[in-house]
Structure 1
Amino acid sequence: MRVGVGSGNPVKATATERALAGRDATVEAVPVESGVSEQPRGRAETVEGAENRARRALAAGEFDLGVGIEGGVATLSGVGGRFLIMWAAVTDGDRTGRGGGPSLRLPDDIAARVDAGEELGPVMDDVLDREGVAREGGAAGALTDGAVDREAALSSAVAGALGPFVADLY
């Protein structure tokens, strides 16, 4: 099975490989546009970005499945604070599966900067005084002291989105 991942970020391709472990699958990174803002806000925009990436990746080559992964920030009903959220979508052109990764509360000072219009990735680079946090452990790794890194968090979202394509229950 050939799988196109709608991103040039190697962490997203590796997360997809991890979700497909044990299956006969070849994963290829396919840089595509998300069609949403650079910093998606809210669950709906984050899911829309993942779906757009999945469809565009599928259309970009001879793939059996297209995978889209999108990170965003959101407030969650009934829960205080601003959260980092992760969503994935998988499509074969006819069906689309969706899955969410962990939701991680942002520290108030980081949330304030995101609310003021900054993107989370560069904010995390600044706060951690490092470049390319999003291509390493990501905000997820920093927020959990390494207990859950970005690859693991995104892999769980992809695994959930793969459900309709790998489980007989659907």
Structure 2
Amino acid sequence: MRVGVGSGNPVKRAATERAFEAADRSASVEAVAVESGVSEQPIGDDETIRGAKTRARRALEGYDVGIGIEGGVADGPDGRYLIMWAAATDGRELGLGSGPQLRLPAGIADRVDAGEELGPVMDEVVGLSSVARKQGAAGVLTGGIIDRESALCHAVAGALGPFLTEYYASDAAPK
């Protein structure tokens, strides 16, 4: 099976490979640079999901399955949260899954609310470059308990559900 991941980010590609390996599915996963169709810093679940869906559909061309992964920020209990959504499509079926939601520290949330993108803010806060291509905000905010790859792997796994089990074959729950 050939899988196109709608991003040039190696962490998103690795997360997708990891999800397919965990599902015992053989897949050749390739990064495909596509536009998300949403802002650089998606705000809210709706925009973030729209970006993941757009990336999946655009990555599908020439592949058996297209995967789109989008990170964003959204309001949640007691502040702003880092969110992540994944979409998977074969052109007929579309699956969605989300990763963990992590509350942003107030100072970081304030900067994002002022219009800055989370990735560069995290780079500055931790004094490293390309945090989004390494442990990500998820790794920084959890002290390394989870990293961006594992968080995104869970989102991709959720999106793959309709392709891995029969439970999505109809809207009715199995008896």
Report the TM range for the smaller structure's normalisation. Answer: over 0.9
CA–CA distance in 1 between the matches of 2:144 and 2:42?
Answer: 24
Match of 1:95 in 2: 93
Q: Structure 2: where are the runs of 5+ without partners?
A: 169-175
Q: Structure 1: where are the runs of 5+ without partners?
A: none
Q: CA deviation at 1:80?
A: 1.6
CA–CA distance in 2 between the matches of 1:130 and 1:5?
Answer: 26
CA–CA distance in 1 between the matches of 2:81 and 2:163?
Answer: 29
Q: Percent of counterpart pairs with the same letter?
A: 68
Match of 1:7 in 2: 7
Q: CA deviation at 1:89?
A: 0.1
Q: CA deviation at 1:150?
A: 0.1
Match of 1:105 in 2: 103
Q: CA deviation at 1:95?
A: 1.0
Corresponding position: 1:30 with 2:28: no
String of CA shifts for 1:16-71, please: whole Å, max 9, x gaps.
00000021111000000000000000000000000000000002x2x110000000
Residue identity matched to 1:164 = P
CA–CA distance in 1 between the matches of 2:123 and 2:26?
Answer: 36
Q: CA deviation at 1:167?
A: 1.0
Residue identity matched to 2:89 = T
CA–CA distance in 1 between the matches of 2:105 and 2:60?
Answer: 36
CA–CA distance in 2 between the matches of 1:55 and 1:103?
Answer: 24
String of CA shifts for 1:68-119, please: whole Å, max 9, x gaps.
000000002xx12000000000001011000000000000000000000000
Give the paired residue count. Answer: 166
CA–CA distance in 2 between the matches of 1:27 and 1:167?
Answer: 21
Match of 1:47 in 2: 49
TM-score normalized with structure 1 length: 0.97
CA–CA distance in 2 between the matches of 1:58 and 1:92?
Answer: 7
CA–CA distance in 2 between the matches of 1:161 and 1:124?
Answer: 27
Residue identity matched to 1:155 = C
Computed over aligned residues only, the root mean square deviation of the Cα atoms, in angstroms, reads 0.5
Match of 2:150 in 1: 152
Partner of 1:169: helix, strand, or coil? helix
